[in-house]
Amino acid sequence: IDWKDRQWWPIVTPITAITFCAALQYYNWVNYRQPFGATICILALLAGKWVTIVAAWWWWSNYPYNFVMPSTLLPSAIVLDITLLLTRNWTLTAVIGAWMFAALFYPTNWAIFAYSHTPLVVDGTLLSWADYMGFAYVRTGTPEYIRMIEVGSLR
């Protein structure tokens, strides 16, 4: 929400995620001729992420779910698999499918995090939901780090 890095999050996440998808998609396509390796990979990564969220964040430190929600890559993985299914060509899948995988990342996550950008008036002050949750649930951190985030591109 307000902790998402606005500069690097939409760029780095698809690049790192597509490497796992490409490996499993290659294995499934070469050995079984099944074009759903990217979707299986993202579902497995999402299951592991939810285990981490519940076990490490919520059970261990009682941190709210809406602060550690994972970004969704499932629509991007489905489009990548459909590209391989329709083209049956690695080159076209690498060019068209990978481009669509990255291009769909930000719009598909906007629906999940859009509520945090809605305005809210608290004691006469106009805030976003993300700012209000950040003020209501105080996170650990030194003031110097918070000042660096406020000045830099992370805020």
Provide the pLDDT for residue 67. Answer: 75
CATH number (domain holding residue 22): 1.20.1450.10
**Is 44 domain-assigned?**
yes
Provide the pLDDT for residue 128. Answer: 84
Provide the pLDDT for residue 44. Answer: 96
Provide the whole-model pTM.
0.79
In terms of residue numbers, what domain contains 98? Answer: 9-115
Provide the pLDDT for residue 47. Answer: 95
**Is 37 domain-assigned?**
yes
To the nearest 10 degrees (0 to 180), the angle between helices 37-52 and 9-32 is: 130
Provide the pLDDT for residue 57. Answer: 82
**Is 141 domain-assigned?**
no
Provide the pLDDT for residue 141. Answer: 57
Provide the pLDDT for residue 154. Answer: 47
Residues lower than pLDDT 70 in the chain: 1-7, 138-155
**Is 40 domain-assigned?**
yes
Residues 41-73 as b/e (b if ≥16 CB within 10 A, e otherwise) read: bbeebbeeeeeebeeeeeeeeeeeeebbbebbb
**Is 59 domain-assigned?**
yes
pLDDT tens-place string over residues 7-38: 677 888 899 999 999 999 999 999 999 999 99
